[in-house]
C-alpha cells in the first residue's frame, strides 16, 4: 500500500527540477521536509532513488523506473482535477432523472431543452417510471432526483413542491355537448370512462377520491399515457381523466370540453425529490434550480 502520497509528490518534484530546494519551493515546504520525504521513500523501497552531481541530483536506475509510474499517476491526477473542474463549471458531467411519461412530456421537457442549450456538454439521462418506481430508483442510487406526483410521505426523501395540477374529466367529438352541466360522481360513473392504467399514482388518487364519494369507478378503457387519453376523448370514445394544465390548448380551441364535477377533484402537486443527506452533482443541482 502507498503509505504517504506526499513522499511521491516530493520525489516527482525533485525528479523534475533536479534540485531539493526548487522542489521545496514548488511544494511550499522547507528543503529539510523534502529531504525527509525522499529519505522515508527510499527506506520504504529499499534503496537510493537519487545521486548527487555538481549540477544537482539525478535519478538512479531504480529512480528512473519509479518516475515512469509516478509521472503517469501525476498526469492521471491532473486530468482528474481538470475533469472535476469541468463538472463544477458544467462543461462535463451527467444528470440522471426519473419521471413518468406525463411529467416528462409536459413538465420536464421544456426546461430540459433550455438546460441543454446552456450546458450542451452535460449528459442527460431520463428514465420513465411510475412515481413508486422512481422512488425505488432514487433509493438505489440509480438517479439523481425524481419528478413525482404528490402527495408523498417518506422520511428518507427531501421533497420540494412544484407545479400545482388539477385533474379533470374531458369529452370531445360527439360527446362535447355533455359538458354543459356539472355532474355528480354517481352520474360520472354511468358514463364510458377513459382512465390511466392501475398502478399509476394519478389513477390511485382518482379512485380513492371517487370511493370517498361512495362511487367505484370502472373504466371502459385503460391507457398508459395522458396523450392517448386525449386522443381517445377527441374522437368521442368517452370521458377521459386528464390534467387540466396539460390539455389547456385543446380546451382553448374547443377540441375538448371539461365535464364539471360536483365535488371536483382536489388539486395536487408535482414534487421534486432527492435523498436526504446525499449531495448532488453540480449539474443535477443546477437543473433542479431551473425547475419551477
Is the pLDDT confidence value at 223 over 80? yes
Judge whether 160 and 276 are in contact, CB under 8 Å.
no
Dump pLDDT digits (tens) for 102-151.
Answer: 899 889 998 999 999 999 999 999 999 988 899 999 999 999 999 998 88
- Domain 5-88 class, CATH top level: mainly alpha
CATH architecture of 167-266: 3-Layer(aba) Sandwich (3.40)
Mean pLDDT, the chain, integer? 91
Confidence category of residue 2, pLDDT binned at 50, 70, 90: low
Dump pLDDT digits (tens) for 66-104.
Answer: 999 999 988 888 877 877 877 777 778 889 999 988 899
Portions of the chain given CATH number 3.40.190.10: 94-163+270-290, 167-266
Portions of the chain given CATH number 1.10.10.10: 5-88
Dump pLDDT digits (tens) for 16-64.
Answer: 999 999 999 999 999 999 999 999 999 999 999 999 998 889 999 999 9
Exposure string over 219-231, b if 16+ CB within 10 A, otherwise e: beeebebbbebbe
Task: Give the pTM.
Answer: 0.69
CATH for 94-163+270-290, options being 2.40.160.20, 3.40.190.10, 3.40.640.10, 3.30.460.10 = 3.40.190.10
- In angstroms, the Cα distances linking 110 to 36, 61, 117, 270 are 59, 61, 11, 15
Confidence category of residue 156, pLDDT binned at 50, 70, 90: very high
Amino acid at each position: 500500500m502507498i503509505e504517504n502520497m506526499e513522499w511521491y509528490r516530493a520525489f516527482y518534484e525533485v525528479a523534475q527540477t533536479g534540485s531539493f530546494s526548487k522542489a521545496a519551493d514548488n511544494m511550499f515546504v522547507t528543503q529539510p521536509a523534502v529531504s525527509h520525504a525522499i529519505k522515508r521513500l527510499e527506506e520504504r523501497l529499499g534503496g537510493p532513488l537519487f545521486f548527487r552531481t555538481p549540477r544537482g541530483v539525478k535519478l538512479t536506475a531504480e529512480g528512473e523506473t519509479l518516475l515512469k509510474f509516478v509521472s503517469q499517476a501525476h498526469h492521471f491526477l491532473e486530468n482528474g482535477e481538470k475533469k472535476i473542474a469541468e463538472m463544477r463549471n458544467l462543461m462535463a458531467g451527467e444528470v440522471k432523472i426519473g419521471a413518468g411519461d406525463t411529467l416528462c412530456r409536459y413538465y420536464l421537457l421544456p426546461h430540459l431543452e433550455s438546460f441543454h442549450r446552456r450546458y450542451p456538454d452535460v449528459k442527460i439521462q431520463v428514465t420513465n417510471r411510475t412515481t413508486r418506481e422512481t422512488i425505488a430508483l432514487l433509493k438505489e442510487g440509480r438517479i439523481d432526483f425524481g419528478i413525482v406526483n404528490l402527495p408523498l410521505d417518506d422520511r428518507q426523501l427531501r421533497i420540494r413542491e412544484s407545479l400545482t395540477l388539477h385533474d379533470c374529466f374531458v369529452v370531445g367529438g360527439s360527446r362535447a355537448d355533455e359538458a354543459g352541466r356539472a355532474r355528480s360522481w354517481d352520474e360520472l360513473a354511468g358514463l364510458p370512462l377513459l382512465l390511466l392504467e392501475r398502478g399509476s399514482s394519478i389513477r390511485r388518487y382518482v379512485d380513492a377520491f371517487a370511493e370517498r364519494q361512495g362511487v367505484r369507478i370502472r373504466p371502459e378503457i385503460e391507457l398508459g399515457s395522458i396523450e392517448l387519453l386525449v386522443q381517445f376523448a377527441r374522437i368521442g370514445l368517452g370521458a377521459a381523466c386528464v390534467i387540466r394544465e396539460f390539455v389547456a390548448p385543446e380546451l382553448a380551441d374547443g377540441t375538448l370540453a371539461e365535464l364539471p364535477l360536483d365535488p371536483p377533484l382536489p388539486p395536487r402537486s408535482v414534487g421534486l425529490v432527492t435523498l436526504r443527506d446525499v449531495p448532488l452533482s453540480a449539474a443535477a443541482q443546477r437543473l433542479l434550480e431551473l425547475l419551477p
